[in-house]
Amino acid sequence: MSIDEQENSGFYAFAHLPTAHGEFEVRVYRAADGKEHLAISVGDLDGATDLPVRVHSECFTGEVLSSLKCDCKAQLDGALKYIQAQGRGLVIYLRQEGRGIGLGNKIRAYHLQEQGADTVDANRLLGFADDLRKYDIAAQILSELHVKSVILLTNNPQKIDALVNAGVKVTGRVPIVAGVNAVNHHYLETKRLRMGHLYDEADLDRAEEEGEAERL
């Protein structure tokens, strides 16, 4: 494939990447808006069925600054560990910070949360919808990689619906409840109660206890 063909298809770069979770193949895709998204994989993807897939949205505060306000870093790490253990799988890393509102507005939302708003109302007070993320680029990446069907690592029913509507064949779901702590417990409970995330309060309590035990 020539460079021009790569750019026209959306595919831009490829390399092997050794990490603390094992070695991955990493592909970069450029969207029409110039944002670069990642496909991080293990094993053969061409024609794969029931492939374990995590579609993960960027979280600078959690993944770089180790913020305790969310569970994003733990979910990303958990997904990478999971596909390594399975010997095959894919994490699609989408550059859409703060459920699509951007880093600056995410910090503004955090400030409103400090004043008593929850994560949903903070977005609304800033004039945004509850979740502005889009998953069409993830569907395009799966299509270009010739993945036929996926088992999603997610708790978010809206993500499942969006991918199905974009043409992705979803054959199953693996829950991924991790990184729960005393700071973000209410945030995660809000996502369950107001955004329909697929876990119950007992799952959060158990994950928080497991996290505390690991730190001891």
Structure letter (DSSP) for residue 184: T
Catalytic residue list: 131, 133
| Structural domains of the chain ordered from first start | 1-96+134-176 (3.40.50.10990), 100-132 (no CATH), 179-216 (no CATH)
pLDDT of residue 156: 94
Answering whether pTM is above 0.85, one says yes
pLDDT of residue 205: 86
pLDDT digits (tens, 9 = 90+) for 152-209: 999 999 999 999 999 999 999 999 999 999 999 999 999 999 999 988 888 888 888 8
Main-chain phi, psi angles of 90, to 5 degrees: -150, 135
Nearby residues of 39 by Cβ (< 8 Å), 6 or more positions away? 26, 27, 28, 29, 90, 91, 92, 93, 141, 145
pLDDT digits (tens, 9 = 90+) for 46-86: 999 999 999 999 999 999 999 999 999 999 999 999 999 99
Kind and range of the H or E run holding 41: strand 36-42
Nearby residues of 155 by Cβ (< 8 Å), 6 or more positions away? 175, 176, 177, 191, 197, 198, 199
pLDDT band at 1 (very low <50, low <70, confident <90, very high): very low
How confident is the model over 28-50, as a mean pLDDT? 94
pLDDT of residue 149: 98
Taking 3-state DSSP, the helix, strand and coil percentages for the chain, each rounded to the nearest 5, stand at 45, 20, 35
Q: What's the N-to-C CA distance of the chain in angstroms?
A: 51
pLDDT of residue 208: 83
Q: Give the lowest-confidence range in 21-30, 129-138, 201-210.
A: 201-210
pLDDT of residue 4: 39
Q: What is the CA radius of gyration of the chain?
A: 17
